[in-house]
Amino acid sequence: MKIRFCVISLLVICIFLLTSCSSNETVDASNITSPVTHSNNSSSENISDTNKQTEMESTITKNEKPSTKDVKCRLYFLATTELKYYYIDKMIPVEDNALITALTKELQSTSYNKDFLSLTDKIKIKSAKLDETTGVLKVVFSDSYVDHMNLGTNTEAGLLTCLLATYGYNLGVDKVAIYFNDELYTSLKGDLPEGYFDVNYPSAQVYNP
């Protein structure tokens, strides 16, 4: 009897212990949280916000317009039929202080008068710089305008006069060097010992369309 009682007691104690352990495991499992998952979501949101901000800043930069202001200028033209010079005073838009570029675009325009000799639009200004030490304005074209235009002796000299007078008047200089890329343009003179043209204003009439 004692042995049976002891066995039964041991079985009861084992069952009680097993039940208690099972209950503890269930409670512990129910208290588990997931801080790692929450942290990852927060990090993803932060990265997404940063990317959106970067994209917005990039869009704003790309959409920024160049600063433009209207400048009163004087343009010189040669009337090819009469071989007479005319000038036009007008306000022209200048972007980012690129006055030489703006003046050149106006000299390339054919809208003023069909008889005016216009500079070819197959070239553009690569650079323009005033040497404050020598007072020489260096204007560099992307290509030779002479190669793209049918110019005679009078018209080539006349076009050069218009360029020099227009650049000189509006920038207040009297020395202009014209380059076609790296080559100094000498026009019909064949040689420029000083490396620049003196600005001589033609006898011009105001143009009244």
Q: What is the pLDDT of residues 61-93, one digit of tens each?
A: 455 677 999 999 999 999 999 999 999 999 999
Q: What is the pLDDT of residues 35-45, one digit of tens each?
A: 444 444 444 44
Q: What is the pLDDT of residue 190?
A: 82
Q: How far apart are CA 209 and CA 138, in angstroms?
A: 33
Q: How far apart are CA 197 and CA 94, in angstroms?
A: 25
Q: What is the pLDDT of residues 89-108, one digit of tens each?
A: 999 999 999 999 999 999 99
Q: How far apart are CA 116 and CA 71, in angstroms?
A: 22
Instruction: Name the token pair of 167.
Output: 């650049």
What is the domain partition of the chain in residue ranges?
Answer: 68-202
Contacts of 71 by beta carbon, 8 Å cutoff, 6+ apart: 91, 92, 93, 94, 99, 102
Instruction: Name the token pair of 182.
Output: 């790296």
- Check if the beta carbon of residue 104 is closer than 8 Å to that of residue 125: yes
Query: What is the Cα gyration radius of the chain?
Result: 42
